[in-house]
Amino acid sequence: MEITEKKIVNVLTNIMTRLDDLEFAQHQHKEMFYKVKKRLLELNDNLNDILDVVEDADMEMVDEVKSKYSELRSWVDNELDGEETDFDDEDARQLMNQIVGES
């Protein structure tokens, strides 16, 4: 089987296109997580305002809501921290095998 220059260019173009698509998708995921974090911070402010109003209410219920909110907030923070890191070597190797294998 003869490998021509045109075939090599097509494979490289295909690889570059897929990498661009992955970079774009990663950027969109980061934007989504930052929007979620911003929204959670706004909700935190609202929660603090509500707590100021209901100081004399059932504190057990308020503590339960606060703990659930804290769990959600720490989960989002962990996800954001995970998203900020790049691919590790194994992920990069699998990605390259997938891209080259399909080309």
Max CA pair span of the chain: 82
Write down the pTM of the prediction. Answer: 0.41
Q: What is the pLDDT of residues 23-82, one digit of tens each?
A: 888 888 888 888 888 888 888 888 777 777 776 666 777 777 778 878 887 887 777 776
Cβ–Cβ under 8 Å, residues 89 and 5: no
